[in-house]
C-alpha cells in the first residue's frame, strides 16, 4: 500500500502484537485499517533475537524486582520498522514510546500529532526499557495518564485510536472533530435520544423545540456549567484563553 491512498502509516513494536487485533479488526479503527486508509505493521522484538532462548529482557543493574527490556532486540525491531516504512514510501518516521514517564497526552497533542502521517510506537513491558535505547532511538515518550498498566500496548491503542478517528474526520465530516469535547477546551454537553420519556425522566424541552439557535445556546451553557462543576482546572484554563 502506497502513501497516496494512505492517510496514516503505523508501525507498532510489541512482544504481544496480537493485542492490536482489537484495533485492526473492530469498530472505526478496524474499518480504517481494513479499507487501507490506515496501514498497521507489527514488529515483535522476539523475532529479532538470534540466541536460542529469544531473550528480550534481563535483570536490572543495581538490583530490584522485575525485568528490563534489552536495548538490542528493540533497536533491531525499530530498524525493521523504519525499513518497512521506507519501502512503503515514508521517511524520517518518528519513534514514540508509551510510558508512565512520558508527557501526559491531551487532545491538543493528538491534533498536533495528526499533522504527521507516519509513526512508530514502541510498547514496553516489565519494569521498563533500558534507558540507553530510549536515549538513542526514541523521539518522544507519551503517557495516557498518571497510572501504570502492565504494558504499553493498551496505551498505544488509546493514542492510535485518537489519531485514527481524527484522521477519519479530516477525510470525512470535519464538523464532528470540531464537536469533540476538549477540541475547544470544554467538556461535552449532555445527549438524548428516543424515547422522549424514559422511566419518568424526560428530554429537555429546548432540544425538541426545533429552535436551532436556542439549542446551540443551551448546549453551550451546559458545556460551561459541567466544565465548571466537574473540571475546575479546565474551566480556569478556558476562562484564561477566552478572557471571560
Question: Which strand (E) or helix (H) includes residue 78?
Answer: helix 71-87
Quick check: 32 binds ligand 4G3 (CB under 6 A)? Answer: no
**Residue selected from 17, 73, 124, 185 as contacting ligand 4G3 according to rule CB under 6 A:** 124
**Residue selected from 6, 99, 169, 223 as contacting ligand 4G3 according to rule CB under 6 A:** 99
Looking at the Cβ atoms of 45 and 155, the one nearer to ligand 4G3 is 155
**What b-and-e string marks burial along 159-190, b requiring 16 or more CB atoms within 10 Å of the CB?**
bbbbbbbbbbbeeeeeeebeebeebebbbebe
CA 235 to chain centre: 24
Instruction: Report the nearest approach of ligand 4G3 to the CB of residue 97 (Å).
Output: 6
Paired strand residues for 39 = 9
Looking at the Cβ atoms of 60 and 151, the one nearer to ligand 4G3 is 151
90 class by beta-carbon count within 10 Å (0-12 exposed, 13-18 middle, 19+ buried): buried
Enzyme catalytic residues:
100, 127, 165, 180
Query: Of the ranges 36-44, 46-54, 144-152, 226-234, which one interacts with ligand 4G3 (CB under 6 A)?
Result: 144-152
Instruction: At 48, list the grid cell.
Output: 529479532
* Residue nearest to ligand 4G3 as judged by C-beta position: 124
Instruction: Report the nearest approach of ligand 4G3 to the CB of residue 29 (Å).
Output: 18
What SS3 class is residue 22? helix
Quick check: 11 binds ligand 4G3 (CB under 6 A)? Answer: no
69 class by beta-carbon count within 10 Å (0-12 exposed, 13-18 middle, 19+ buried): buried
Q: Which residues bind ligand 4G3 (CB under 6 A)?
A: 97-100, 124, 128-129, 143-145, 147-149, 151-152, 155
Amino acid at each position: 500500500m502506497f502513501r497516496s491512498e494512505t492517510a496514516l502509516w503505523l508501525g507498532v513494536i510489541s512482544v504481544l502484537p496480537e493485542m492490536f487485533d482489537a484495533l485492526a479488526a473492530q469498530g472505526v479503527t478496524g474499518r480504517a485499517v481494513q479499507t487501507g486508509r490506515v496501514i498497521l505493521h507489527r514488529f515483535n522484538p522476539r523475532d529479532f533475537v538470534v540466541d536460542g532462548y529469544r531473550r528480550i529482557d534481563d535483570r536490572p543493574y543495581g538490583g530490584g524486582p522485575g525485568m528490563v527490556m534489552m536495548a538490542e532486540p528493540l533497536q533491531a525491531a525499530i530498524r525493521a520498522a523504519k525499513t518497512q516504512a521506507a519501502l512503503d514510501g515514508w521517511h524520517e518516521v518518528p519513534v514514540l514510546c508509551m510510558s508512565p514517564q512520558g508527557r501526559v497526552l491531551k487532545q491538543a497533542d493528538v491534533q498536533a500529532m495528526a499533522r504527521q502521517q507516519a509513526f512508530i510506537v514502541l510498547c514496553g513491558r516489565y519494569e521498563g526499557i533500558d534507558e540507553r535505547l530510549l536515549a538513542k532511538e526514541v523521539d518522544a515518550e507519551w503517557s495516557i495518564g498518571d497510572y501504570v498498566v502492565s504494558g504499553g500496548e493498551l496505551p498505544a491503542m488509546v493514542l492510535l485510536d485518537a489519531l485514527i478517528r481524527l484522521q477519519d474526520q479530516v477525510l470525512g465530516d470535519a464538523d464532528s472533530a470540531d464537536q469533540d469535547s476538549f477540541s475547544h477546551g470544554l467538556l461535552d454537553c449532555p445527549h438524548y435520544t428516543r424515547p422522549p420519556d424514559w422511566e419518568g425522566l424526560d428530554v429537555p424541552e429546548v432540544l425538541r423545540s426545533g429552535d436551532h439557535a436556542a439549542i446551540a445556546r443551551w448546549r453551550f451553557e451546559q458545556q460551561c456549567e459541567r466544565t465548571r462543576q466537574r473540571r475546575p482546572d479546565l474551566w480556569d484554563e478556558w476562562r484564561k484563553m477566552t478572557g471571560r
